[in-house]
Structure 1
Amino acid sequence: MSDAVPLLPFVRRDRAMRWAVGIGAGWLAAFVVLLVIAQIHPSTAIVDLPYLVPIVVAVGLSFAAAWKTSGRTRIAWVLFAVSNLLWLIGEVIWVFYTYVFQRGPPAVSVADFFYLSSYVLAVPAILVAIGSSGHLRHIRGLLDAGLLALGVGTIGWQVAIAPSLPHAPRLADAVAFAYPLFGVATVTLLAAVGLAGRHRLPAWAGLVGAGFAVAGVTDAVYAYTIAKQNIDSNWINIGWQVEAVLLGLGAVAAIRRPEPETRQRDRVRDLTAVPLVIAAMSAAGLILADRLDGGPITGGTLAILLALFAGVLARQLLIIRDRTRLATQLRAALREQERLAITDGLTGVYNRRFFQEMLRIEAERADRADSPLSVILLDLDEFKKVNDGYGHPAGDTVLAQIADRIRGSVRAADIVARYGGEEFGCLLPGVDEEVAIEIAEQIRQSIGRLEVAVGQGRSVKLTSSLGVATAGTRGGHSLDDPDGLVNEADSALYRAKATGRNRVVAAGMLVDPVYADPDLPIGLVWLADRIDAQISVHEHSTAVSRWSLLVAERLGLDMAALRRVGAAGRLHDIGKVMVADSVLRKALPLTAREWEDLRRHPDESARLLTELGGRPDLAAVAAAHHEWFDGTGYPRGLAGAQIPIEARVIAVTDAWAAMLADRPFAPTLTVDEARVEIERGRGTQFDPAVADAFLALVTAGMIGALAEPARA
């Protein structure tokens, strides 16, 4: 929005405006000549009929300006046009009295009604055109204009008019005095708006303001001549002719350059007290004048004093309300700026900068209170496919809903932030590693259940990888290095990504043996994934490996056993490659021959691990994962401690994964139903200690649902 153009440069640059100014000046010169002729050869026709010409032109141009402009400027020009039309009607009535009745109108006539009505519309027109925005400021502008008009008018009456009246004021005197009052009101309104509204005016507004200023002065002179009973001079008409010319030029300026609405500019000094000062001076002058007369305060004086007092009181109340509103808006704006400074605009969670600041604060607080502090870093798996396949707006929608899921999974006191593009961070004061892993698992499952609509009836489902790090506990990271805590969580997140995604990894926890054991044959890992995909759409060997590590850690097994249980869990079913696919996917009960083929797969897994993988240390574990604790399992009927502890762990996690999966030969069980089956097999199929450790992890929420491939 450009600033308003000053009047003189605008006139110099615009050819049509130069012509309009020239015509207006020429008309005023011609009208002066007519007045001189009328003095030499007295005739009302010489002056009265030409007098109407600029007013008619101003009316036409005002309606044209209302048609050409828009917004608040159009509303103002509609009011100006109607105001000028009322003025023209009053003048026509005046001429009608002069030529039809061969005399002037009576002291109070219908023409006065139209004259004064034109002023009534001019005041709101000025407020609409150049008044400040907001109803309160419009009302305050009206009060300022009223106080100034009443104050200046009162002073003018006491000083110039009242001493000249030889009799008690008549209705005609009041009507005549109403003209300068309205004139002063319009002029002072311009001043009040300029003082209180602090606006830069467009060129047309300056011309209109000048026209009303001339009218105010002319009306004041007219009122004085009436008071002196000297109404024969036609020279006063020059003032109203100037007013009509200026209003017409203002309309031309608005048509030629429909400038934007007025803009606020900086106020150098506060002059809004001027109306109050003038009102106070007027009240003091009235009281002093009545006291000098030696009599009591008259009813008229009392009415004016009450009006001044009520106006001042109302104005101050509006100022207080206006300033209160501004203060409230300022506080709200400051709060919004503070929020924007620490908030991610897309997701509504905190930004990375705030997360890092709060990390240092919470680390110092945890150090003083000797309490733990945990960090979770989360990254959406294969999020690039969403942006590439559905567009960045769809990606933004996904990120916003993911942020909502994360916030719904943590406490109100926890800090959730967008740490990067599709990466989020959670700061958990007072939370140890075990609880942090549980919270991270809840977040992972919540995101895995979320399907986000991306338009045209399509939706996308994503998974996430999470890294957890804890400081302030025995064996945890030091609180003296909060940035190192984030680095540990980031490393855990990387390991979660590197080991298959859609999982939670803690900084001190072993993960999938593909990452933890570089000697694990990658070809056998591929074979395990291929077999899992043939049987079910859900993961299997990755979940068995992940859960087996958690159970082994809870049982307190040593590092070597942890590595074996994780690696063997990942490859325990590779022997099923020797079983016919029709048997693996058969929904009906198996025949005796088919059962015999299926029960050979533990030995086949051990053989492949030894002969192809060169890992005989894992062969014994894979061969025994279907042995039962009571000795009724297969392939060798081992019991109790004869079964390697790693195989006893895998027996539980393998059964749990099979019960939760969607497989053709068995219905999918709920978590509660699967828990009942584990409890029923405690002491028969499963080692009681292993079963108890596993169910404790389920209760703690660390054993999550099976993952599915991300799909749209």
Structure 2
Amino acid sequence: MSDSTSLGSFLRRDRAMRWATGVGVGWLVVFVVLLVIAQVAHPSTALVDLPYLVPIVVAVGLSITAAVVTRGRTRIAWTLLATSNALWLVGEVVWVYYTYVLGRGPPAVSSADFFYLSSYVVAIPAILVGIGSTGHLRHIRGLLDAGLLALGLGTIGWQVAISPSLPEAPRLADFVAFAYPLFGVAIVTTLAAVGLAGRHRLPAWAALVGAGFAVAGITDAMYAYSIAAQNTDSNWTNIGWQIEAVLFGLAAVAAIRRPEPEARERPRSRDLTAVPLVIAGLAATGLILADRLDEGPLTGSTLAILLALFAGLLARQLLIIRDRTRLATQLRAALREQERLAITDGLTGVYNRRFFQEMLRIEAERAERAETPLSLILIDLDEFKKVNDGYGHPAGDVVLAQIAARIRGGLRSTDVVARYGGEEFVCLLPGAGEEVAVEIGEQIRQAIGRDAVAIGGGRSVCLTSSLGVATAGTRAARPLSEPEGLVNDADAALYRAKANGRNQVIAAGMLVDPIDTDPDLPPGLVWLADQIDAKISVHEHSTAVSRWSLLVGERLGVDVATLRRIGAAGRLHDVGKLSVADAVLRKALPLTAAEWAQLRRHPAESARLLTELGQRPDLAAVVAAHHERFDGSGYPLGLAGAEIPIEARIVAVADAWAAMLADRPYAVARTVAAAREQIELGRGSQFDPAVADAFLALVDEGLVGDLAALAVPSPM
């Protein structure tokens, strides 16, 4: 029952506890010496009786101190222990009063007996509170085991020792005399039941209290046996009670010096509770055999005891069944909880990323077999970092949990929502096409931004969200055999939603139209740009440059105003070629120096046309610089690095890519791989490295391709 390692380590570490232990052992040695002296000088019983009170007085004082300094359940236990020890001391004082003040021994039944027995009555709940089980069913089983053990041992003790010693007409004094061993048995069996209940860790003070009560129970039994055997020399049993008092004192010191946590339960490694069953069975068998040997019918008392034993055994088995049923239920619940935790996010309660990835694979296979579409919505909370920075991460956690609930409310029962990472969520929509997915995404966006999110303390925050939608399957660009690419498509659409000003839903299938991006684009110059494209190649050029430039700008996270300039500049960057002779534009042979000079004037001419005819001076500086190089070797002004507007740096890469992939009079179209190699070679010299990297990432993701399908109409 006790944890000797804990107690031993405590004794080694605590100097005061070592001193107290030494004093206690020293006192026991002194008391044994006094007993020997009293045996030699028989009339000098005061030599033993008065010092006998010393450790009891000390134990009472220390117990009261422990009750004051401890807390919680431990304080309740020490309050009961202090009361029990005080009752014991009062009983001893009454006994000394009768013996040395009145000059005669106490009567057969005196008030001293009342205090002695009362101390036992208080001791039992002290054991159960301080050391006993905290589990309801286990607590009941412990009490029942204690009852069976006490009844069994009491029955055996009654048959073997007490019943043969009782006179034919027992008096009250006889019953009082045998009440002591019965209480001793009760205390020992209570300790046994507590031990059978099991502990994860028993505090040092509890181990010492348990040892003290165990010594007291054994001593009481020995004393009762000596009285029954008419052994008048019972002074040596006083040593047991002295040991009890010393152990109680040491327990109080341990509680005062080290207020340890309360004892906790541990799972049983083996079922030691079979011990009460065996003893109860032996007691019942002994009763039946004893009555049969008397060759008489079973007496009423025997029947009552047998019924009590059998009732206790039956009740205990019912409790075991109930306990096992409860444990099985708890185990099933724990397993279900473990399964739930394995697939859900602990903060928001929605599914986790791992579960989403598995469901994406399963739903993609199912949609491919059924030839139905599969859509995905990627959700990112706009500027969520401001919530964490301004209100703290706990407030951010509250926001994420509430946002998850709003997202769930906007989905269908067949949809799956998961936390994708940080402030990102992802929704899987089986059977939903792009139009339905965008509609659901818009409902979610409105649900997130409609009402402020309460974060406690009367505070709230307003949030918006950006959503990217991607669809695979029927009539969608992305095949269902590439579910991972669906996430990339949604991610790219989400980037566009962020770049376009946040708080909106963008679908990957929605191509960006530069005219929609900037409705103030001069229609006449747009028409002129198309005519110039048709002179040079059979494929689109300025429209493709504009679209690809917009994607790069979105990927780099530029603001909306800059994004509009990028799209417009990409669409009109070559209008200045109107001043270049057709012969120069269509010449297959190398250009002369004069022809190169004429061609290099077209960026400045584009800027002039935008300023004078298009009333768009904001675009003039961009188109004027789209042939500048990052290392400063470009034209017309030789600008370098950050001197070149970011819009022009982006258009430069898209323009070069479109030119390399188209058949021109002076060169045949390159392959995508060859064009990619040229962009990589020009990284840091011709092109801004960051822009080049963003552009090539879009190429790798399939968002930027070739010009094969981008034919333009013939000029009118």
What's the counterpart of residue 408 of structure 2? Answer: 407
CA shift for structure 1 position 376: 0.8
Residues 1:515 and 1:423: Cα distance change in structure 2 (over 3 Å): farther
CA distance in 2, matches of 1:360, 1:31: 83
Partner SS for 2:481:
coil
Partner SS for 2:272:
coil
Q: Given residue 181 of structure 1, which amino acid in structure 2 is its aligned partner?
A: L
What's the counterpart of residue 536 of structure 1? Answer: none
CA shift for structure 1 position 377: 0.9
CA shift for structure 1 position 67: 1.9
What's the counterpart of residue 432 of structure 1? Answer: 433
What's the counterpart of residue 311 of structure 2? Answer: 310
CA distance in 1, matches of 2:194, 2:460: 57
How big is each residue's C-alpha offset from its partner over 1:23-49, in whole Å with a ceiling of 9 and x where there is no partner? 323332333333334333324433322
Q: Given residue 462 of structure 1, which amino acid in structure 2 is its aligned partner?
A: L
Partners of 2:56 and 2:89 within 8 A in 1: yes
Partners of 1:4 and 1:202 within 8 A in 2: no
What's the counterpart of residue 298 of structure 1? Answer: 299
What's the counterpart of residue 158 of structure 2? Answer: 157
Show the 5 A alignment for 1:260-299: 260-265=261-266, 267-299=268-300
Residues 1:457 and 1:131: Cα distance change in structure 2 (over 3 Å): closer
Residues 1:206 and 1:410: Cα distance change in structure 2 (over 3 Å): same
1:7 matches 2:7:
yes
CA shift for structure 1 position 519: 13
What's the counterpart of residue 25 of structure 1? Answer: 25
Partner SS for 1:242:
helix
What's the counterpart of residue 535 of structure 2? Answer: none
Partner SS for 2:54:
helix
CA shift for structure 1 position 383: 2.9
CA shift for structure 1 position 333: 3.1
Q: Given residue 476 of structure 2, which amino acid in structure 1 is its aligned partner?
A: G
What's the counterpart of residue 341 of structure 1? Answer: 342
Q: Which moved more, 1:71-80 or 1:164-173?
A: 164-173
How big is each residue's C-alpha offset from its partner over 1:591-620, in whole Å with a ceiling of 9 and x where there is no partner? xxxxxxxxxxxxxxx9998564999xxxxx
Partners of 1:173 and 1:227 within 8 A in 2: no
Partners of 2:375 and 2:472 within 8 A in 1: yes
Q: Given residue 277 of structure 1, which amino acid in structure 2 is its aligned partner?
A: V
CA shift for structure 1 position 267: 4.0
CA distance in 2, matches of 1:289, 1:38: 43
Residues 1:14 and 1:493: Cα distance change in structure 2 (over 3 Å): closer
CA distance in 2, matches of 1:507, 1:243: 83
Show the 5 A alignment for 1:447-462: 447-453=448-454, 459-462=460-463
Partners of 1:495 and 1:511 within 8 A in 2: no
CA distance in 2, matches of 1:239, 1:4: 21
CA shift for structure 1 position 425: 0.7
Partners of 1:402 and 1:447 within 8 A in 2: yes
Residues 1:500 and 1:27: Cα distance change in structure 2 (over 3 Å): closer
Show the 5 A alignment for 1:174-189: 174-189=175-190
Residues 1:614 and 1:180: Cα distance change in structure 2 (over 3 Å): closer
1:416 matches 2:427:
no
Partner SS for 2:122:
helix
Aligned residues between the structures: 536
1:116 matches 2:117:
yes
How big is each residue's C-alpha offset from its partner over 1:465-490, in whole Å with a ceiling of 9 and x where there is no partner? 21222233233533222212222222
What's the counterpart of residue 173 of structure 1? Answer: 174
CA shift for structure 1 position 154: 1.3
CA shift for structure 1 position 170: 4.2
Partner SS for 2:236:
coil
Q: Given residue 61 of structure 1, which amino acid in structure 2 is its aligned partner?
A: L
Partners of 1:130 and 1:193 within 8 A in 2: yes
Q: Given residue 325 of structure 2, which amino acid in structure 1 is its aligned partner?
A: T
Partner SS for 1:378:
strand
Q: Given residue 446 of structure 1, which amino acid in structure 2 is its aligned partner?
A: A
What's the counterpart of residue 634 of structure 1? Answer: none
Q: Given residue 31 of structure 2, which amino acid in structure 1 is its aligned partner?
A: F
CA distance in 2, matches of 1:501, 1:515: 17
CA distance in 2, matches of 1:198, 1:151: 25
Show the 5 A alignment for 1:351-500: 351-453=352-454, 459-475=460-476, 477-500=478-501
Partner SS for 1:128:
helix
How big is each residue's C-alpha offset from its partner over 1:562-619, in whole Å with a ceiling of 9 and x where there is no partner? xxxx99xx99xxxxxxxxxxxxxxxxxxxxxxxxxxxxxxxxxx9998564999xxxx
What's the counterpart of residue 650 of structure 2? Answer: none
CA distance in 1, matches of 2:314, 2:386: 67
CA shift for structure 1 position 216: 1.2
CA shift for structure 1 position 162: 2.1
CA distance in 2, matches of 1:89, 1:280: 40
How big is each residue's C-alpha offset from its partner over 1:157-185, in whole Å with a ceiling of 9 and x where there is no partner? 21222233352554433332222222222
Partners of 1:498 and 1:515 within 8 A in 2: no
CA shift for structure 1 position 297: 1.4
How big is each residue's C-alpha offset from its partner over 1:238-274, in whole Å with a ceiling of 9 and x where there is no partner? 2212211221122222223322222445643221221
Q: Given residue 299 of structure 2, which amino acid in structure 1 is its aligned partner?
A: T
Q: Given residue 28 of structure 1, which amino acid in structure 2 is its aligned partner?
A: L
Partners of 1:4 and 1:262 within 8 A in 2: no
CA distance in 2, matches of 1:389, 1:614: 37
Residues 1:49 and 1:495: Cα distance change in structure 2 (over 3 Å): same
CA distance in 2, matches of 1:23, 1:102: 33
Partners of 1:493 and 1:505 within 8 A in 2: yes
Residues 1:106 and 1:430: Cα distance change in structure 2 (over 3 Å): farther
Partner SS for 1:236:
helix
What's the counterpart of residue 686 of structure 2? Answer: none
What's the counterpart of residue 34 of structure 1? Answer: 34
Q: Given residue 36 of structure 1, which amino acid in structure 2 is its aligned partner?
A: V
CA distance in 1, matches of 2:262, 2:271: 23
Partners of 2:468 and 2:508 within 8 A in 1: yes
CA distance in 2, matches of 1:151, 1:45: 39
Residues 1:491 and 1:608: Cα distance change in structure 2 (over 3 Å): farther
CA shift for structure 1 position 85: 0.8
Partners of 2:368 and 2:473 within 8 A in 1: yes
Q: Given residue 416 of structure 1, which amino acid in structure 2 is its aligned partner?
A: V
CA shift for structure 1 position 293: 1.3
What's the counterpart of residue 333 of structure 2? Answer: 332
What's the counterpart of residue 319 of structure 1? Answer: 320
What's the counterpart of residue 142 of structure 1? Answer: 143
Partners of 1:489 and 1:506 within 8 A in 2: yes
CA distance in 2, matches of 1:417, 1:129: 48
CA shift for structure 1 position 494: 2.1
Show the 5 A alignment for 1:503-514: 503-511=504-512, 513=514
CA shift for structure 1 position 328: 3.2
CA distance in 2, matches of 1:175, 1:309: 28
Task: Give TM-score scaled by structure 1 length.
Answer: 0.69
CA distance in 1, matches of 2:461, 2:8: 64
Residues 1:467 and 1:231: Cα distance change in structure 2 (over 3 Å): same
CA distance in 1, matches of 2:512, 2:127: 77
CA shift for structure 1 position 277: 1.6
What's the counterpart of residue 126 of structure 2? Answer: 125
Partner SS for 1:297:
coil
CA distance in 2, matches of 1:371, 1:12: 75
Q: Which moved more, 1:278-287 or 1:474-483?
A: 474-483
